[in-house]
Amino acid sequence: MDRIIIRGGASLNGAIPISGAKNAALPLMTASLLTAETLELANVPRLADVQLLLRILGNHGVDHTIVGRRPGESAESGQTLRLQASTIIDTTAPYELVSRMRASFWVIAPLLARFGEARVSLPGGCAIGTRPVDLLIDALQALGAEIEIDAGYVVARAKDGLRGARIAFPKVTVSGTHVAMMAAALARGETVIENAAREPEIVDVADCLNAMGAEITGAGTPRITIAGVTSLHGARHAVLPDRIETGTYAMAVAMAGGDVTLENTRADLLQSALDVVARTGVEISQTPSGIRVRRQGGRLAPVHVTTEPFPGFATDLQAQFMALMTRADGISHIRETIFENRFMHVQELARLGAKIRLDGDLAIVEGVPELRGAPVMATDLRASVSLVIAALAAEGETTINRVYHLDRGFEALESKLTRCGAQVERVRA
């Protein structure tokens, strides 16, 4: 199993290109099941989760082509995928595939909307909590689907097609909003989603569906309206920049010190997180090509933060920010309100010398003058990159094990950091 070795102490200087957003690319790929025509997606990151979803879609009969680079494109421009679901041979998504990536459960919506049936394995739990699919199932039932659970599979049927309805989520759910939008796009009549997620990835998926012929308005607000259409056609769409990757590298520069421009990204995608990082004493400014992050000496100021749905501080940046606060000059409070069990990185940060105390959903972080390298183990995607951030400022050498988590969500992490001066090495198993 691969591991990453980081020798801390080097500042970061230069430019880091930001990849396409994984959290948009996955539902966009799933949306290819809604049409028999070709959906072309540009700026798709090269990630393990993308490869796994291609396998899952292929299991249904979706053909895919990876398009070669075009003039002016660089290796960091992302890959272009062409997906065609003209002949679907199977509407079952088996456990052995769905169990490896929760987002693959979302295929239930386009399969049901287009073919009137779907049989998808329940995804089970994960390292950061149960994340149940009950809200997704409730949304499909509101649209007229008949649902039953059979031997660990969700069996959904809509023999006469789905019909528009009012869907009022009791709490904000990104996955539920994705599923409801995709299903409602081909439903008869109008669907209104209340308390919808407002994340930029929701807007990106809605934009793509509209380019395919859907009629969706209100994406990015708590109320989304979908006028169902009889069919969708092919389209070309570029995946938006990854705001979580943007925030992660901003915090890496804040931790290590230096001066880095994060290219091909936008501040409006994560303004709350950038504001929080700026409060630590880091200089953040917009440039024509992206966002400049600069810290030259001095201790970081402690900051209290609470994770919230967009436009608040993202839960997917909580672990990274906790790593940053381990070196703050004082005590910071980090409250996690989205997922239970999302403090599993605390014990590994402690191995590097961090002082963190947990009280329910609150982490109390007492900044220390220095961290020291040690062997650590990643528990999930965001926890793994928080260890990378901590290791950048730790004295000596840190070995991060189980880095397959990193490969799920961060494209070319080692090379992006190395080109800015970090001493990062991947050791192949």
What are the φ/ψ torsions at residue 315 (nearest 5 degrees)?
-60, -30
What are the φ/ψ torsions at residue 45 (nearest 5 degrees)?
-70, 150
For the record, the structure tokens of 118 come out as 């779907």
For strand 153-157 and strand 190-194, is the pairing parallel, antiparallel, or unpaired?
unpaired
Feature table: binding site: 22-23, 102, 131-135, 316, 338
Q: How far apart are the C-alpha atoms of 314 and 89, rounded to whole Å?
A: 38
CA atoms in the 13 A half-sphere facing the CB of 182 = 30
| CB contact at 8 A, 167 and 193 | yes
Q: How far is CA 411 from CA 68, 239, 269, in A?
A: 18, 14, 19
**Residues identified as active-site:** 126
| CB contact at 8 A, 274 and 313 | no
- Nearest partner of 276 among 330, 334, 234, 214, judged by Cα: 334
Give SS3 for 217.
Answer: strand
Total residues found in the chain within this entry: 429
Q: Which helix (H) or strand (E) holds 128?
A: none
Feature table: binding site for UDP-N-acetyl-alpha-D-glucosamine: 102, 131-135, 316, 338
Helical axes 200-211 vs 22-30, angle rounded to 10°? 30
Q: Residues near 38 by Cβ (< 8 Å), separated by ≥ 6?
A: 82, 83, 84, 234
User: How many C-beta atoms surround the C-beta of residue 369 within 10 A?
Assistant: 8
Q: How far apart are the C-alpha atoms of 333 and 358, rounded to whole Å?
A: 10
Write the burial class of residue 142 (CB in 10 Å: 0-12 exposed, 13-18 middle, 19+ buried).
buried
Q: Is 131 left (phi over 0), alpha (psi -120 to 50) or beta?
A: left
Give SS3 for 125.
Answer: coil
Feature table: binding site for phosphoenolpyruvate: 22-23
Q: Which helix (H) or strand (E) holds 286?
A: strand 283-287
| CB contact at 8 A, 365 and 322 | yes
Which residues partner with 84 through β-bridges?
38, 63
